[in-house]
Amino acid sequence: MNADKRLDCTGIFCPMPIVKTKVELENLKSGDILEITADDPGFEKDLPAWCSMTGEKCLGVFREGGLIKGYVRKK
Amino acid sequence: MSADIGSSSGAALKPKLTMILFSGELDKAIACFTLATTAAAGGFDVTIFFTFWGLNVIKKKCFAVSDSQNIFQKAFNYMSTSRLPLSNLNFLGLGPLMMKILMKKTGAASLEDLIKTARELNVKFIACTTSCGVMGLGKNHLSDDVDEFAGAATYLAEAKDASINLFI
């Protein structure tokens, strides 16, 4: 997937990946895609849950080994 | 959205979370601030009401003692400080020390980081005036992050419109 911005959230735990995602998304334009890489296993469920809370579009969450990659399109 | 947000005013209301932080223990404070920061990042209005031992979390200095306090208040503020214990396995302060080292090693955010993040996300801090009065605590003893000094009615007015209210 082509991301407009990449955010590295490896090495940090809940709630910081979600907080960083929120802050990063504020700097993007509507329609931009943010790719987030995290290694907190909870992030796989937390990202779609957060998107459903905020109305942002979760384009998918993928597991690559120990890493989780999530894609969000800014509303 | 399944949360019942209510519709008392015409404006589009944000979902709201309020928490009463009654406990002054490190683990419970971390739980409180983890929820506060996550909710605030998720578009919630968040209010934390600090009362009783919870005030230890926002004390400026370890010993919040001053001349204006009577002997009991001084004694309490010497024994109950901003150096927060763990609710379990405290071992005279060894528990929290080990927990802080463990959290740093594993990359979990510290309580200080969570409080700072909460403020950046506009989480509102209310300090209970009754508890402050009983313990002899003034504005000078508590963090500048406190937005309001108020009582139960102020908390309930906030909680009435919130979809999630927690007592920790």
Tell me: the pLDDT tens digits for B1-36?
344 444 444 446 799 999 999 999 999 999 999 999
Among A13, A19, A52, beta carbon nearest to B41: A19
* pLDDT for res B116: 97
In a domain, B85, yes or no: yes
Note whether B124 and B149 are within 8 A (CB): no
Domain count, chain B: 1
- Predicted confidence at residue B108, as pLDDT, reads 94
The whole-angstrom distance between B98's CA and the closest CA on chain A is 18
Domain-embedded: residue B158: yes
State the average pLDDT over residues A55-69.
Answer: 95
Q: Which residues of B touch A16 (CB under 8 A)?
A: 109, 113, 117
- Domains detected in chain A: 5-73 (3.30.110.40)
pLDDT in tens, B29-79: 999 999 999 999 999 999 999 999 999 999 999 999 999 999 999 999 999
Residues in B closer than 8 angstroms to A53, CB to CB, are 1, 15, 42-44
Closest CA of chain B from A1, distance in Å: 24
Please judge whether A15 and B108 are an interchain contact, meaning their C-beta atoms are less than 8 angstroms apart: no
CB-CB: which of B42, B107, B113 is closest to A53?
B42
- Please state, as a whole number, how many other Cβ atoms lie within 10 Å of the Cβ of residue B8: 9
Phi-psi group of A48: left, alpha or beta (phi > 0 → left; psi -120 to 50 → alpha; rest → beta) = alpha
pLDDT at position B1, please?
Answer: 39
Residue B11 domain-assigned?
no
| pLDDT of A40 | 93
Record: contact A53-B34, CB cut-off 8 A: no
Domain enclosing residue B149, as ranges: 16-167
Q: Is residue B9 part of a domain?
A: no
pLDDT reported for residue A1: 79
Any domain includes B25: yes
Told to judge if A14 belongs to the known catalytic residues of this protein, a careful annotator would answer yes
Q: How far is CA A6 from CA A1, A50, B74, B111, B122, in A?
A: 11, 18, 52, 27, 25
Q: Predicted ipTM?
A: 0.83
Rounded distance between C-alpha atoms, residue B25 and residue B27, angstroms: 6
**Considering only alpha carbons, which residue of chain A is nearest residue B105?**
A11
The CATH number of the domain holding residue B66 is: 3.40.1260.10
Q: Mean pLDDT throughout A64-73?
A: 95
Task: Tell me what the pLDDT averaged over chain A comes to.
Answer: 95
* pLDDT, tens only, A39-61: 998 999 999 999 999 999 999 99
Q: Where are the alpha helices (DSSP H) in B64-160?
A: 71-79, 94-106, 111-120, 129-135, 152-160
Q: Which of residues 1-40 of A touch B (CB under 8 A)?
A: 11-16, 18-19, 21-23
A chain contacts of residue B1, beta-carbon cutoff 8 Å: 52-53
For residue B7, tell me if it sits in a domain. no
Q: Does B116 fall in a domain?
A: yes
Task: Look at residue B37 and tell me if it is in a domain.
Answer: yes
Nearest to B107 among A13, A22, A53 (CB): A13
pLDDT digit string (tens) for B95-140? 999 999 999 999 999 999 999 999 999 999 999 999 999 999 999 9
